[in-house]
Amino acid sequence: MPADYHSHTPLCHHAEGEPHAYVNAALAAGVSEFGISDHAPLLPEPFDDWRMSERELPEYFDWIERARSHAAGRLAIRAGLECDWLPGCETWINQLSTRHEWDYLIGSVHYLPDEELGIWDFDNPKWLGRWASLDVERIWTNYWTTYATMATSGLFDILGHPDLVKKFGFTPAGDLERFYAPVIDAVAAAGCVIELNTAGWHKPCGQCYPDPGFLHLACAAGIPLVLSSDAHAPAQVGRDFAQAIGVARAAGYRETVLFDKRQRRPEPLP
Ligand SMILES: [Zn+2]
Ligand SMILES: [Zn+2]
């Protein structure tokens, strides 16, 4: 199985499990490498209630070390972070990038700056009621513009769950390629890797992130790929990877990417 680089730890307050349990699950799933990428701290603190704080970073490094000692050479354990893209975050992300010898940084859009709603974490289940009364076309336009800006920043190795905005199943009418095409151009120009994130199959949308139509265009544009479970519990490591390999191959992919200290190399897809 390909590497699984998107996983969380209890430091973010909404994931569970000890390092040894994640490593055992990764070994059982047969992934080629396992990466830890918990929600990165955000300033000013407390920013929200679903991430580690800055002063917990040493505890996070220790958590990764515990995973490495349990793996004991049986499996490469990679160190990453899932960083949030927010307006003006560049200085902070640059600082974070020097705080550890990271193997990769994932950039994700969980927050949207909205002219009417302010900055809001649109994928938080607490906003499910709000979504029903929103102009979905407007939110989608805002999401994809934000995503393209994140790609262009050049701060991230991997871009997380590309169409997370569909999480609760709210999708504009018509051909979605009008949203995909400009962002795929931006991602390809920036040279970023995207992830095929299997968690979406277990959310209200019932689809992986991104949509196979997006993935097809991304492959044609030469954008490299990783597979991700986005595990928030050990049992989720490598979840649905067989199905994801089928989706990736159908989109045209024949390889994924491995990361080591922010350098990448290809790995053939099974
Ligand atoms: Zn999370
Ligand atoms: Zn995420």
Q: DSSP for 49-77?
A: SSS--GGGHHHHHHHHHHHHHHHTTSSEE
CA nearest neighbour of 244 among 229, 257, 264: 229
pLDDT tens track for 69-80: 999 999 999 999
Per-position DSSP letters for 125-182, written without gaps between them: GGGHHHHTTS-HHHHHHHHHHHHHHHHHH---SEE--TTGGGTTS---SS-THHHHHH
| Ligand number nearest to the C-alpha of 49 | 1
Q: Ligand 1 centre from 15 Cα, in Å?
A: 7
pLDDT of 107:
98
Expressed in angstroms and rounded, the spacing between residue 12 Cα and the centre of ligand 1 is 7
- Smallest CA-to-CA distance from 260 within 33, 40, 98 is with 33
Find residue 108's DSSP bridge partners: 84
- What pLDDT, on a 0 to 100 scale, did the predictor assign at position 112? 97
Q: How far is the CA of 66 from the centre of ligand 2 (A)?
A: 23
β-sheet bridge partners, residue 39: 82
Ligand 1 centroid–CA 174 distance in Å is 30
Q: Which ligand has the nearest atom to the CA of 14?
A: 1
CA dist 137 and 170 (Å) reads 9
What spacing in Å lies between the alpha carbon of 68 and ligand 2's midpoint? 23
> Is 0.75 surpassed by the pTM of this model?
yes
Q: What is the pLDDT of residue 33?
A: 98
Residues 6+ apart with CB under 8 A from 113: 86, 87, 119, 142, 146
Query: What local confidence, expressed as pLDDT, does residue 44 receive?
Result: 95
Mean pLDDT value of segment 99-125? 96
- Mean pLDDT for 218-243 is 98
Identity of the amino acid at 20 = H
